[in-house]
Structure 1
Amino acid sequence: MNDQFSMPVHSADTKPRGLVHNKSKFLAFIGAHEIFTAETWKAAMVELIATGALMFTLTSCSVACLESKEVNPKLLIPFAVFITVYLFLIVMVPVSGGHMNPIFTFVAALKGVVTLSRALLYVLAQCIGSVIGFFVLKSVMEPKLAHTYSLGGCAIGDKLQSSAINPHDALLLEFSCTLLVLFVGVTVAFDKKRCKELGFPMVCFVVAASFALAVFLSITVTGRPGYAGVGLNPARCLGPALLHGGSLWNGHWIFWVGPFLACIIYYSVSIILPKKGLDWVDGEYDILNLTMGFSGTIPNNAVLNDLP
């Protein structure tokens, strides 16, 4: 253990200094100083508005596809998802990072791209934005359609519906599809060399395409009666559950636990990815390095170098 953490009883001023130092390390650990910056709150507000608009647009397009006269309208939904996500990403990424999803925010926090404080503000803004977006949608949508499609919420079926998907299968599918999006989309987005080679529009294309692919998988060969497909966005599942309720609360935890488990596994695997040819985005607040620094395993100045 470092000398600065030892507190001999014969020194009267060592303990206060140690406490102050540990407090400073903890504040640096969570990035508390960002809470007091206007830019952080502006970005969080952008996340709120963008998430609300995305929920309104994405759900409207999905319901419109299902209500179309096509023979198999489910095949239209992945295209609607791709176009909507791509447009929102290419507009919002330069403004706030274009997360609009607790999954992206959580991975960014693990990788140190954003601080824990900023990540918490983003997730809160995304959840509020989702509620607002679905509230607007519920107000303007035909009541019959809102009831038929459960306001476009994340559902695994009614408890009385025996043909609904098993909760464990839904959890596995949510985990697998989220991991697919992370490995295909986020890996490219976090590779600085690849981003430079492909260009910003193509990176947004890859991320949007990974979402569309995951949605396609979850509503076709893996589709079950009463199952609305993967959520891929816990905030998107929260809004309809709060406003519509009912069976949307059945297995609601799946749409939170599955994606966050996928984020943890993805981060763990990303640590051991081969570095050859990969210019990985590693921020100052990488959760592994921060934890090691906070415990004294690595030099403390590596943790405290960003204090204001």
Structure 2
Amino acid sequence: MSIMQRSLAELFGTFWLVFGGCGSAVLAAAFPELGIGFVGVSLAFGLTVLTMAYSIGHISGCHLNPAVTFGLWAGGRFEAKDIPAYVIAQVVGAILAAGALYMIASGAGEVSGLASNGMGEASPGGFDIKSGLMIEVLLTFFFLMIIMGSTDSRAPAGFAPIAIGLGLTLIHLISIPVTNTSVNPARSTGPALLEGGIYLSQLWMFWVAPIVGGIIGGLFYKFLGEDKSAKPNIEGE
């Protein structure tokens, strides 16, 4: 696949992740008496990744996340020259999704939020920057471990999307109260650009922490003894 095809797949997939995940939080989480709550939002994010992994995993590898892209590079699964194209595509997809979600949500009146990530007064549970940084680094580290391990050629073929989707669901179940769960700089960027204010001023943290965690995760899995001669079973060409 050409870099243009793979980048377009990443844009498409990241749009779906942000629109599906953040959309569930904005439109359905607090719906009177029928709201899906934290569990529903967590499942929504996991399902977006699971469905896209089966849909575009064979095209682009289905990163949908700059932290995953950097982590796979650190783990020897991705070429550095393709990082800019992937990251740009992911961010554009996230911004477009946030814009579409804003337009839909505004149909019911003033939009109160777009599921942006935050710390301190912007944290759902009032958690400070120390807690936010720690949980974002730690959970992105584990996310990369799940991705690297489940897509290893020695792992059962065809099940990686399930493990990755359920892994992201668990990550959200743990951390929505802390930061509203990022582990993904693109996912954080789209809503923050539209909401502005404190969410935009804190956006740096949701780039730094996930990328650091992703790189550490990629390096650590590589250290565990991955067979570098074997081809991952979900990576795109």
1:228 Cα offset (Å): 4.3
1:256-294 CA distance string (max 9 Å, x none): 111111123223323431x4xx545678xxxxxxxxxxx
Q: Would you say the 8 A contact 1:184–1:207 is kept in 2?
A: yes
d(CA) in 1 for partners of 2:204, 2:230: 30
Q: Would you say the 8 A contact 1:47–1:96 is kept in 2?
A: yes
Alignment of 1:87-166 (within 5 A): 87-142=51-106, 147-148=111-112, 150-158=113-121, 164-166=126-128
1:209 Cα offset (Å): 0.7
| Corresponding residue for residue 144 of structure 2 | 182
1:108 Cα offset (Å): 2.0
d(CA) in 2 for partners of 1:256, 1:281: 31
Structure 2 alignment gaps of length 5 or more: 232-237
d(CA) in 1 for partners of 2:35, 2:170: 20
| Corresponding residue for residue 266 of structure 1 | 217
Tell me if 1:85 matches 2:49: yes
Please, which of 175, 188, 197 is the counterpart of residue 246 of structure 1?
197
d(CA) in 2 for partners of 1:272, 1:59: 34
Q: How many aligned positions are there?
A: 229
Change (3 A) 1:177 1:280: same
What amino acid does structure 1 have at the position aligned with 2:192? A
Tell me if 1:234 matches 2:185: yes
d(CA) in 2 for partners of 1:52, 1:100: 9
Q: Secondary structure at the match of 1:66?
A: coil
Runs of 4+ in 1 over 6 A off after TM superposition: 143-146
If asked which structure has higher relative contact order (CA below 8 Å, sep 6+), I would say: 2
Greater Rg by CA: 1
Identity value in percent: 24
What amino acid does structure 2 have at the position aligned with 1:164? G
Change (3 A) 1:60 1:114: same
Q: Would you say the 8 A contact 1:155–1:250 is kept in 2?
A: no
d(CA) in 1 for partners of 2:121, 2:196: 12
Tell me if 1:65 matches 2:7: no
Taking structure 2 as the reference length, what is the TM-score of the superposition?
0.85
1:39 Cα offset (Å): 0.9
d(CA) in 2 for partners of 1:145, 1:233: 29
| Corresponding residue for residue 199 of structure 1 | 157
d(CA) in 2 for partners of 1:184, 1:248: 29
Tell me if 1:215 matches 2:158: no
